[in-house]
Structure 1
Amino acid sequence: MTHPVPARVARLCEQVSPLLDDAGREAAAAVRAGLAEPLRLAVVGRVKAGKSTLVNALVGRRIAPTAAGECTRVVTWYRYGAPERAELHLRDGTRQELPLVDGRLPESLGVPDADVARIVVHLQAGALREHTVIDTPGLATLTAANEAATREAVLGAGDPAAGSSDAGQADAVLFVFREAERQDEVEFLRQFRAATGELAASAVNAVGVLSQADLFDGAGMDPFDAAEGQAARLAAARVADVSAVVAVSGLLAETARTGRIREQDARVLAAAADVPEQRLRLRHRMPLPDGVDQAALERLYPVLGNYGVHRGRERAGAGAHRLVGWLESVSGMARVEELLRRSLLSRAHALKAMRALTVLTRSAQRAGAEAALALIEEARLDPALHPVRELRALRLLVAEAPASPLRAALEQVSADTTDTARLGLPHEATPDEIAGAARQRAAAAQSQSAFALMPAEVEAGRVLARSYQLIARRARP
């Protein structure tokens, strides 16, 4: 563990653990163990929002069940690991193998779902090297226990509004909106901000997707164009809750990435290329023209949806490879992954540190351990944990002064890349060039902070100046 952020948090865990009660020591040990793991990304949304389909697209496997069943009522973790397998982590602390069926989670768990804390699936999927995906039961479900499982996994136990939550197990959230936001979604996002402690006034650790973009009613527009417009409106309305919202079709992405399209399917679609779209929509009332395999075409509708079938016909003539490439492109999944990389994965160490500080602080407060609280405060001021302060300042700025000229600089410097990238300099820049540029920008940020009118801009300028000073120090110790 050579990165300074997790190394400093690990040292803090070792320092405070002896000062905590049994529950606090257990929490500190869990925090310490989690520092070496990939970012934990919870996928959250209402029932039927398309969460599990999106998870399958993220993982590149048709592993998550999309129809209602016992598995969809339990929180499921998808982690990188071999051999590929699934396990039930029961509430009594024991574990039990859950055999996969044709590479997918089974419909039945074999035990009451109330006895299951979570399902853990180990897969050799490249995407899971960077982040562990936590698939959650839907919000606003008719089964209170299902929604409670989601809230416990993401928000933790206790009352987030009262500051008594354990901060949950997720480092970040991918929130899935289906259409316009609902009141329960707004409330959940508010509680997530409260539960995450260090981010109580920001949206650093939450991004949004508007799912099922292929089903949007565009009133004559392309459904994806209509969905993009709605995503932009959601992002503007929830600027304090999610850093961005992008439109995506989880179904098209899942189909493209999980090998569901074969050459035979492409030929079936191509044969229907000249059939008017309205005739396809009326296919149950009148037979399709000769040469179109109606039964085979019908089997493609659940795989591609109306949009994929009707718009994919003209690409299918070039073969399955061309069709799959179009599905991948139009689905919007690449934009989702870019959003995850830019907003979450590039800052994974700082996000995990924020959650760790929240867990340790609340454990120390419950135990009345003043000495532990003093050590935590000392760690907050350590230059090694300055990235935590950067992210907090950034999202405060986005929430209070989104048009501030400091925003772009703070976004760039808070990305967990190289110092040359943070400064926008060529990779081959010399230490003297790096130090000189950093000092100039530190002075400019201090000046902007001095003349700022809004508290968020004052803090952003101070934090940015300190960031540049630390870069200059690293370049020329």
Structure 2
Amino acid sequence: MTASTSTAEAPAGLLQQARALLIRTMTFYRDDPRTASWLRERLERIEAPLRIAVTGRVKSGKSTLINALVGAELAPTDAEERTQVNTVYQYGPEPRITAYTPHGAAQNVPVTTLDPGTIRDLQRWRPDEISRLVIDSPSPGLQAITLIETPGVSSSAVKETGRSALAQILSEADAMLYLTRHPHQTDIQFLQSAHELEVARRAPINTILAFSRADEVGSGGSDAMPSADRVAELYRNEPRVRSFAQYVLPVIGLLGQAAATLDADDFDALAALARLSSAEFENLLLSADRFVNSTTPETVSTTTRQDLLQRFGRFGVEHAVTLITRGAGDLKKLRSALLADSRLNDLQESLHQQFVERQEALRARSVLMAVEMVLRANPRSGGRQLRGEFERLLANAHEWDELRLLSALRSGQVRLPPHEREAAERLLGAFGNQRHIRLGRRPDAPESELSNRASDALLQWRTLAMDPMRDHVHREAARTVLRSCERLIADTSVRDTAG
């Protein structure tokens, strides 16, 4: 290629385009310090870990599940709803707590360790005194994501401030994990209202719905999880839920927290309980007082029993002991079995696949939502060009279409024959966004091989998209994969030109 020939460049991705629009919007509102500062914060967050709001109705198990996901007991868990302020759990090399007032002033709370009791006391402050807590923790579980715990959707804190939890979530988070014991009309209405903005309606790709106390479904006991699975399947296919949630799954938050924080002392105590006869153990579990105050076995102290019951719950203690008697004979095996049975592994995999692996699409969504909120709240003359660019980005955000279809394939909302599903997921980027991975080829595959593979895929999915024997849903799915193939073809053309 000669020096006078321009080098072909691939078109900027959605996040790059959204970021550029955010900067132009910030420049347009530079004479409005409050708006410009708010937009600057959103610009800075693009480089920070993905922010996931953990929200839901009062006492849906938000704190418990946060502890399970982090793998440490940070969020305080109480019998009553105590969270009054948004609490951000983020990675930091040293433990630190920062409290923010509604006016933005920050105050560091001196701590050497992160004690849930200290956090609990701060969370009980009135929202007009402390609007946000930021907890820095060196927990590895927070290196890839930041978790934001909100007050319960119907809590007194939300009503007292006059600002809904919805506004906070839209402002603070890239994605949402919504917890409920069982979906009620309140949950559906809240989640629908979270998708009122144009960006949210165009890209309902940031929500996972979890039944966080699956062990309580139906009559509880051994039939609870199968019942919860059936309920989850019903809601996955419910049109209103499908319009905003990418996945619906059951999880036992308390069991997940116990598994994630299980240590050698816990295992020794549970193993001692497992050595009791069935009759003795069942007798212990007749009431909490009997379990805590019993002296059988003598090696398990009252303090240990209280801790086990608080962290595991009655169901968790019984389940852990059952697993030990069935062969989970060491700490590693028990933790693995508890994590699997709690479905925490499933939730973590869903969070990783739906959110972490596709975080650029989610960040672009957050950026464009911020731009939309500003253009709506503070319209001014001369903003037509910004609005036009905003609309163009929304109309061409294929990355969002890919995410929606991947979610639909994984949740069973769209069903394809196994060979078609595998090919579709690969072309949509489920196993990696690199071109050779999408095309199922080695990293060192020559350009000619990648080009031929992309052309073959294009022809296959064009045929499926036009198949009159398929219904509208499946033809639309095929068209989404087809557009992904077209992008791969375009990418190949750009590389050939550049070469």
TM bracket, shorter-chain basis: 0.7 to 0.9
Over 3 Å counting, the alpha-carbon distance change for 1:302 and 1:111 in structure 2 is closer
Aligned to 2:174: 171
Q: Structure 2 counterpart of 1:58, which letter?
A: L
- For 1:399 and 1:147, how far apart are their aligned partners in 2? 36
- For 1:400 and 1:338, how far apart are their aligned partners in 2? 16
- For 1:146 and 1:410, how far apart are their aligned partners in 2? 46
- For 1:81 and 1:120, how far apart are their aligned partners in 2? 11
Aligned to 1:94: 105
- For 1:32 and 1:249, how far apart are their aligned partners in 2? 36
Aligned to 1:467: 484
Q: Does residue 1:355 correspond to 2:370, yes or no?
A: no
- For 2:249 and 2:392, how far apart are their aligned partners in 1? 39
- For 1:454 and 1:399, how far apart are their aligned partners in 2? 19
**8 Å CA contact 2:435, 2:488 repeated in 1:** yes
Report the secondary structure of 1:303's partner residue: helix
**8 Å CA contact 2:84, 2:125 repeated in 1:** no
Aligned to 1:162: none
Residues 307-345 of structure 1 deviation map (CA, whole Å, 9 limit, x = unaligned): 222232244473444433332232211110101111121
Aligned with 1:10 (options 19, 24, 45): 19
Matches within 5 A, 1:204-243: 204-218=205-219, 221-237=222-238, 238-243=241-246
Aligned to 1:55: 66
Aligned with 2:187 (options 181, 185, 196): 185
Deviation at 1:230, TM superposition (A): 2.1
Q: Does residue 1:367 correspond to 2:367, yes or no?
A: no
Residues 10-56 of structure 1 deviation map (CA, whole Å, 9 limit, x = unaligned): 22223333223625433432332121122211111111111110001
- For 1:59 and 1:401, how far apart are their aligned partners in 2? 30
**8 Å CA contact 2:86, 2:133 repeated in 1:** yes
Aligned to 1:433: 449
Gaps of 5+ in 2: 1-10
Over 3 Å counting, the alpha-carbon distance change for 1:189 and 1:440 in structure 2 is same
Q: Does residue 1:134 correspond to 2:148, yes or no?
A: yes
**8 Å CA contact 1:206, 1:242 repeated in 2:** yes
Residues 83-107 of structure 1 deviation map (CA, whole Å, 9 limit, x = unaligned): 2211012111210113448522413
**8 Å CA contact 1:154, 1:169 repeated in 2:** yes
Deviation at 1:367, TM superposition (A): 2.3
**8 Å CA contact 1:218, 1:226 repeated in 2:** no
What's the C-alpha RMSD, in Å, of the aligned pairs? 3.6
Deviation at 1:128, TM superposition (A): 1.9
Aligned to 1:274: 278
Q: Does residue 1:244 correspond to 2:242, yes or no?
A: no
Aligned to 1:312: 320
Report the secondary structure of 1:72's partner residue: coil
The total of aligned residue pairs comes to 460
Q: Structure 2 counterpart of 1:18, which letter?
A: T
**8 Å CA contact 1:201, 1:395 repeated in 2:** no
Aligned to 1:158: none
Q: Structure 2 counterpart of 1:182, which letter?
A: H
Deviation at 1:74, TM superposition (A): 0.7
Over 3 Å counting, the alpha-carbon distance change for 1:215 and 1:375 in structure 2 is closer
**8 Å CA contact 1:50, 1:176 repeated in 2:** yes
**8 Å CA contact 2:236, 2:413 repeated in 1:** no
Q: Percent identity?
A: 24
- For 2:408 and 2:375, how far apart are their aligned partners in 1? 26
Q: Structure 1 counterpart of 2:189, which letter?
A: E
Aligned to 1:402: 414
Deviation at 1:390, TM superposition (A): 3.5
- For 1:360 and 1:209, how far apart are their aligned partners in 2? 30
Report the secondary structure of 2:121's partner residue: coil
- For 1:175 and 1:307, how far apart are their aligned partners in 2? 23
Which segment drifts farther, 452-461 or 238-247? 452-461
Which segment drifts farther, 94-103 or 329-338? 94-103
